[in-house]
Structures are given as structure tokens and as C-alpha cells.
Chain A
Amino acid sequence: MPQIKPVDVVIAGGGFVGLTLAKEITARTSLSVLVVERGQPRKLADYAAGMDELDYALRFRMMQNLSEETATHRHSAKAAAVPIRQYGSFNPGTGVGGAGEHWGGISYRFYPEAFRLASFLREKHGGTLPENLAVQDWGLSYEEIEPYYWRAEQMIGVGGRAGNLGGKAVDGGNVFEGPRSHEYPIPPHKQTYATTLFEKAARGLGYHPYPVPTATLSRTYTNPDGVTRTGCAYCGYCTRYGCMIGAKAQPTNLLMPLLAKRKNFELRTGCSVRRVVHQDGKATGLTYRDETGAEVFQPAQIVIVASWTLNNSRLLMLSRVGQPYDAATGKGTLGKNLTHQVSQATRVFLDKPLNAFMGAGGLGIGISDFDGKEGVDRFAGVLRGGNIRLMSTGEGPVGGFGAIPPGEVQSEWGSDWKKAALAWHDRVASISSEAEHLAYRQNYLDLDPTYKDQYGDALMRLTLDWTAHERAQGAMLGQIQGQIGKAMGGRVGPPNSRLLERYTVTQYQSTHVNGGAIMGTAPESSVVNPWLQHWQMANLWVVGGSAFPQNGSGNPTLTILALTLRAADGLIDRYLKKPGELA
């Protein structure tokens, strides 16, 4: 195997996390940093020609090519897993920038008590918690992560309105959020007809609507790194697309312009990392398959795995780093606490056109009156809630076609259907929710014994299903969604209750899949310490949503980036000064 010049730091994965780490390390040290990315480079100039719903939103042109690599799923350890053959309940990214190029930009913070959820629930409910609940504390408090939230918000340029400034509730923001040290870096987006209707209705019902926080820039903004981006044009080609004007925070326009100028930075594309190489409890580098098909060993002093949730765990498993989790005995840590997010949605049929093709991935109004610990006690069996929001993300003409109030026509094709679909076109909004997904002993990751990737390596296997708790969350959120939809003056469809009956691979929910290589207070119960440094290998860092012990209710990337910036501080300010275990 050809061996090449050693580097100081090698990073597996050139997505949001990997490139953020590279930016920090190359700016603050003289270490040589190499990012190894399996996909291809991208540039903003390509994105205008990508305003095509068919190729990008329906055929997933920017996403991981599933013919090469996918994951498998089963509902329980007793069932047989089958591959996720086509997209999909989530959409993993590939190429420079990863899913960070085609995300929606929605940038929530998690609630303070979410970081100590196990303690919080035990204090509140004592012994009455559901069996098999596996929630854990993060080993990091909200107060400790707050400065990193603020840094991440400035880096990507989050627009919003604070609802809690230093402990004081501020009307117009999310009054239930944790205390912020600062107002958002920039104001929220303009609003649309649909989101304005939602806001009025929610306020009228006594709830506390706020503009959804987003990194799709409401106006021109220069971040502390000196990167200037222009404000959003509301073209609607946002989620699942690259932003052609760079208003959306994307690694290609946020991080690459800085990295391209750094002499101690190198990016190798078209190179798939296959193993973390280690010897005597120390990582020595990694191997990857390059574009010509050659297997390469890249030696490094420090190895960072930043290849998104599922591949983070998978690389560790394939490399035999750490002890795989055994669901039967509860022993082992690697692969445990797999979570997704609990989705619920209700359609509202309105009497006026919405121009729903206008919008931005993060344009919307939300309420959090039934989110986190708020408002849930009135609902039997609900421990944690979720946000409720109406988003104008930019509806495509294909995806937006055919929403008809239930019962109005018999068939899903033919003249009557067509007439009804045309009559209702552009008058249908969706009120949707994402609720905290708790961790359970029976939801976990391991290597699939049957199905392989393009190189013959085992695929990641998801053992994952909903429980009574998620169905209770869905019922609660569906009820409030319906209430607000009616108050908007619309006809309200039934909530999508089937989605939470059983975990459904065929319906997109979100790409907010987390856990597997979780952070925590002790090596017996977690894979990485609160600096995201591997408990057993001090020069190995595993960074991303893989570290979440369970999922929060908001979109995860802001929390992922806050953890990433904190990991960078741990590595640069502490580890480099005194190599060894930090915690």
C-alpha cells in the first residue's frame, strides 16, 4: 500500500463539521491539516443551473449515491434488516460541504435541561419513566455550550429574534428558550402570507410565536472570520439545493474561501476513508481508496472522524475502535442511543393563493408552547415536546401538486382528481413539528451481517422503531397543529398519524439522525468525552451529531457546530499543550 507524507491532522469527511474544524486548526496553529472527502468539489457558480426540482429535490442529485453505499433498517432485533434501497427518511450528503450545502439553514438551540435530560427526567418523574429509556446527560451544561452557540450563530449568520436575553423574556422571540448572552447576529426574514396567517392565529390562541431562526441571511452579513455573504433572494431553491448567491451558510462559501488561502490546509476529494488505523491504543492515521482505486495509508499525529452520524460510528466499528454496544446485555457503548426526530404534520387548506414557490429553507414562524418541558404535562404519557411551525421553504411545482382535502375526490388520478388538484393548487400550507426523540435501549447501530458497500465493507444497520411515547408526542402536536390551522380559517386535514405507527423508511422526515458515538461523563456509558475526544484513544476525535446522547427538538446543526467549535478549542488550547485524555 502506498504510504505518503505524514500530516499533523487528518480529517475524514469534508462536510460542515470537517471543514469547520479545518478552519479553526489552520487559523490558530501551524499544524498541517488534510481533509479527505469522498465526493467532488463544488462551487457556487454551478448552483444557478441547479434550480431544477426534478434532478435535485426528487432525484437527490447532491446526495450520497445509494448504489455505492446505503444503510439497512429493521424495526427490532428480532426482525430482518433490509437495505434502504432508495431515498428515504433521511438524505445523507456527499461532496465538499456535505449535507451542509443542501441543508435548510434552520438553526435552533437546544433547551438548557436537554443537556442534562437523564437527571432532569429522574428528578421530575422518579421511577415512573418508560422501561428501556436510555437517555443520558451530555456531560456538558447549557452554560458551558452557550458561548459556543453564540460563536456558531455568528459564524453562519443566524437571523432571528431573541426570546430570552440574559434571563429576561422578550416578547416576539421564543420566550421558552434558554438565556442568550446576545441578540441574534441579524434580524429575521421577511414573512409570507402563510406564515403571517399562522403567526396571527397562534397569537390569538395565546401562544408565543417567533420567527424561526435561520442561517439563510435576511440581509448582507460579514462574520467574525471576515466572510461576507449577501441576503436571501427568496427564490425557493434552498433545501436540497445549493444556494447560488451564497446567502445560505454553506461550507463552500463560508469555509472554503478561508481554507483555500491557508498554506497548511489540503483537501483531497474523491477519496473514501475506509479505516482508522491504530496501534497500541493510539491512532496512527487512516486508509482511504483514492480516485484511481488505489488504497492509501495516510499517517497522522491526530485523526478526526467527521463523516456524519452514521459513517462516524461505522468507521469506528469497521476499524475496531471501542466496544460495540450489545442491546441484549446493555454492555458496550459504540452504536448505542441511535435517535432520529419525531415528525408530525397537518395540512391546512386555505381560500387564497399563497405563492408558495417563494421562500427560503429557514423562513417560517414557530411556537414552542409545547416544546421541551413546556406544556407537556397536560398530555398523558408525554415527557418532552416539540416545536410547531409553518415554513415557507419554497414549494416545487411537482412536489406541491395534488394536495386535496380528504374525501373531496375518490380517485388519485383522472379528470375529477385533476380538477380538484388544480383548484386547490397553491392554497395548501403545512403546519409541521419536530419533537425531541428520546433514546431507548432497543434503538441502536451495528454492522449489517449481509449487505455490503461498493468496497465490500458492511453497511450500517439501524435498529429503530417508535414507541408509545413518540406516538403520544405526535398526537399532542397534531392536536395543536389542527387547532392553529382552524384558527387560520382553513380546512384542516388529519395529522399524519401513520408516520409514527412504525418507523417508515419511505417517507422523508429529516436528516436529523443522531447518536451512536455519544458523548458523556464516563467511558462505561459513552464513546467520547465532552470534548468529543475518544475515551480510549486520546489522539482520535469523533465529531458530529453522532455525539448526541439523544435528540433535541430543533434542527441539530447549530448544536453540532457549537460542539465542533468546542472540540476545536479542546484540541488546540488543551490537547496540543498537553497531549492526553482531556476529561
Chain B
Amino acid sequence: MKRREFLTLPGSSLGGVLLYTLAGEPVRMQAQTGEIKVPLRFFTSAEARVVQAACDRIFPSDASGPGATEAGVVIYIDRQLAGPYGRDKYRYTKPPFVESVPEHGYQGKAAPREIYREGIQKLGDFASLAPAARDEKLRGIETSTFFRLLRQHTIEGMFSDPLHGGNAGMIGWQLIGYPGPRMSYREEIDKAPGQAYRQKPASLAQIVGHPVTGWEDEKG
């Protein structure tokens, strides 16, 4: 049997409540302490650390607010790769695989999880590098299919519904002032033009009042 792999994170790194100072600078309030052990579905612990380090350079935690690490982006990506998307359940994967013009997009055989495995391997000791060296490494692979996926998935993990494993504490939504999926803006749609409508975000599960299963968790 495959040994269970975990990603160990300091509890204080994940999610949290964002407050804005009068100057508009985000300030993080943290409640959690201790360690969180997140069971991994696809990555090995070592792989998860590389991906986390890379996502953290793509969407860093810095003066403009929290980033991929606080949002738990690596957890989001791990679940996507373990699920049907990562296995290419919904992509046309019949041969022959022929290289074509860029307008035809990715024509390769490898599924996202294979692209990641190979991409991570090429990053080698990435997680132990200093930030500047990490950036340099990423610059070197910027045009690769792997990096394009990684960048796209980082944004998805920041801002998709927390039901998919990222956007912990809806920290991504707090960052951009997104209120979450709401049933109605009938009253608000044409009120206060040009003024931000900013509410404390609510997740889909909170809105519908029951847990929602993501596509990645579907059987089969």
C-alpha cells in the first residue's frame, strides 16, 4: 500500500481574516496556532513543498496582502490533480498526437498530473533555494506547459470557492472584495454606481446551507 503523504503547515499560515487599515493596507488577524497536517491525495510531501514554494513566488505573500501559501493553493492543486481533471477525464486523448500550430493549443499526450510530476522533477532542489534564485528558475521555464498550468492553477486556488481546497478562510475573496456566490443583487445592482459593494464573503456551502461536492470529488 502507498504510504500516506502529508503536507505539514504551521496553522498560523493558513487563511485568516483580513482587515483593511484606513490606508487600505491589508492586515491579517490570525487565530490558529499549532501545526496542521494535510493528507495529500496526489503529491508526495517533497513535491508539495516544491509546488508550494513555486506558487508562493507566483502569488507571494507581501506588502500587497497574503498570497498562495495562506490560501492553501497547494492543497487545491493536489486535489485537482488527484481528480478527473488531473487524469484528463474530460479531454480528448485519442491518438495520434501531432504537434500543431499554436492556435490549436496543447496537443500532447501527458495529463496535467504527468506534466506536474515532470515539471516538479526539473525544479530539483527548488524548495531550498532563496527567493531570488527561485524566481530565476521560474523565469527559465516561463513558457513551458507546466508553468502555464501552475500559474493558472495558482490563480484558481487563490480565488475559487473554498470547497475546492484553496482560498482558505476565503482569504482570496477578502483580498479582492468578492462577496462569494450570492443569490440576489436585485436591490444592489443599480444602487450606488461607482461605489464598491463589499461584504464579508460567504462560501457556496454557507449560501446553500449544505456541503457541496466539487467535480474533483466525484466518483468514477
Interface residues of A (CB under 8 A from B): 48-49, 51-55, 58-61, 65-67, 70, 73, 75, 80, 82-86, 190-193, 196, 231-237, 244, 352-353, 355, 357-359, 397-398, 401-402, 412-415, 418-419, 422, 425-426, 450-452, 502-506
Q: Which residues of B contact A414 (CB under 8 A)?
A: 57-58, 60, 135
| B59, B101, B158: the one within 8 Å of A75 (CB) | B101
B184 proximal to A (CB < 8 A): yes
B6 proximal to A (CB < 8 A): no
Q: Which residues of A contact B164 (CB under 8 A)?
A: 54
| Docked CA distance A425–B58 (Å) | 17
Contact across chains for A451 and B94 when beta carbons are under 8 A apart: yes
| Docked CA distance A402–B195 (Å) | 21
Interface centre among A61, A73, A357, A419 (most CB of B within 10 A): A357
Contact across chains for B92 and A53 when beta carbons are under 8 A apart: no
| Docked CA distance A502–B105 (Å) | 13
Q: Which residues of A contact B60 (CB under 8 A)?
A: 414-415, 418
Min CB distance A497 to B, Å, is 14
Contact across chains for A82 and B62 when beta carbons are under 8 A apart: no
Q: Which residues of B contact A49 (CB under 8 A)?
A: 204, 208, 210, 212
Contact across chains for B151 and A358 when beta carbons are under 8 A apart: no
| Docked CA distance A73–B105 (Å) | 11
Contact across chains for B189 and A358 when beta carbons are under 8 A apart: yes
Contact across chains for A401 and B159 when beta carbons are under 8 A apart: yes
Contact across chains for A233 and B186 when beta carbons are under 8 A apart: yes
Given contacts A48-B208, A85-B107, A401-B155, 16 further A-B contacts (CB under 8 A): A48-B207, A58-B156, A60-B90, A67-B92, A75-B103, A83-B107, A193-B194, A235-B183, A357-B178, A397-B176, A415-B60, A419-B62, A422-B65, A425-B177, A426-B177, A452-B94
| Docked CA distance A451–B98 (Å) | 12
| Docked CA distance A16–B34 (Å) | 55
Interface residues of B (CB under 8 A from A): 57-60, 62-65, 67, 85, 88-94, 96, 98, 100-107, 135, 138, 151, 154-156, 158-161, 163-164, 172-173, 175-179, 181-186, 188-190, 193-197, 204, 207-208, 210, 212, 214-215
Contact across chains for B215 and A55 when beta carbons are under 8 A apart: yes
Nearest B-chain residue to A49, judged by Cβ: B212
| Docked CA distance A580–B195 (Å) | 63
| A48, A54, A66, A401: the one within 8 Å of B90 (CB) | A66
Q: With contacts A49-B212, A422-B64, A505-B105 known, is A358 near B185, CB below 8 A?
A: yes
Nearest A-chain residue to B161, judged by Cβ: A52
Q: Which residues of B contact A502 (CB under 8 A)?
A: 101, 103
Q: Which residues of B contact A234 (CB under 8 A)?
A: 184-186, 188-189
Q: Which residues of B contact A415 (CB under 8 A)?
A: 60, 62-64
Contact across chains for B93 and A401 when beta carbons are under 8 A apart: no
Q: Which residues of B contact A82 (CB under 8 A)?
A: 98, 100, 104, 107
| Docked CA distance A419–B26 (Å) | 12
Contact across chains for B156 and A398 when beta carbons are under 8 A apart: yes
Contact across chains for A235 and B90 when beta carbons are under 8 A apart: no
Q: Which residues of B contact A190 (CB under 8 A)?
A: 189-190
Q: Which residues of B contact A193 (CB under 8 A)?
A: 193-194
Contact across chains for A418 and B160 when beta carbons are under 8 A apart: no
Contact across chains for B91 and A66 when beta carbons are under 8 A apart: yes
Q: Which residues of A contact B215 (CB under 8 A)?
A: 55, 59, 61
Min CB distance B145 to A, Å, is 12
| Docked CA distance A503–B101 (Å) | 11
